[in-house]
Amino acid sequence: MEVNWVAHHQLLSSAASQLKQVKVVLDIGCGIIPQNLVKPAVHICLEPFHQYIQVLQKKTVNALDRVYIILNATWAEAIKILPERSVDTVFLLDVIEHLEKEEAKILLKATENIAREQIVIFTPLGFLPQEHPDGKDAWGFDGGKWQEHKSGWQPEDFDDSYNIYASKAVHIVDSMGRAFDKPFGAFWAIKNIRNET
């Protein structure tokens, strides 16, 4: 497993340079902030929490650069209805750490059947504690349970079919803006599908 270690300020641009500009994107668990690294013709936002859905609908209703399709469903519901090779790229940005590890592995395997071009993952390096005991998330919604971290990931959790870009000091504050004693790292795992089929 080769890991491309970069400075924190180079992490996003290093990963972004590997992304394909495609026509159809599935953005799993996008919360209230859909990915904006790729500008597809069709951007499917898959979000299970109804308060985030309401924000997404307001944010995207007048979009001119793409067509947004907003689906109110969990990833487990979505993978049952999305056909094989039905989207170009699947994005999982700050998603897998919110699932138990075995559950996330099932999701990752399913995305390999759904994507035609790429799978793009961003996650903390190792376990980054995140809880919202009062049920409120960083935006003041009732999404605290959706924001809890349940697993930690390392580049070694991904096989050689993924390109890894990592940095050891990315997260300097928690989800509520409080400084960490020591920064947490993060990494991108990007899988190119078309080369394999």
What pLDDT score was predicted for residue 136?
Answer: 93
103-147 per-position pLDDT tens digit: 999 999 999 999 999 999 999 999 999 999 999 998 999 999 999
Among 131, 152, 128, 155, smallest CA distance to 143 is for 131
Write down the pLDDT at residue 69: 97
What pTM was estimated for this model as a whole? 0.94
The DSSP string of 6-44 is --GGGHHHHHHTT----SEEEEET-TT----SS--SEEE
Share of the chain above pLDDT 90, in %: 89
What is the fold of 3-192?
Rossmann fold (3.40.50)
Condensed to tens digits (0 to 9), the pLDDT of residues 151-160 reads 999 999 999 9
First CA to last CA distance, the chain? 21
The pLDDT tens digits of the residues spanning 28-42 come to: 999 999 999 999 999
What is d(CA 80, CA 76) in angstroms, rounded to the nearest whole number?
7
Average pLDDT rounded to a whole number, residues 55-70:
96
Average pLDDT for residues 183-189, to the nearest whole number? 96
Task: Inform me whether the pLDDT recorded for 195 exceeds 80.
Answer: no
Give me the residue spans of the domains in the chain: 3-192
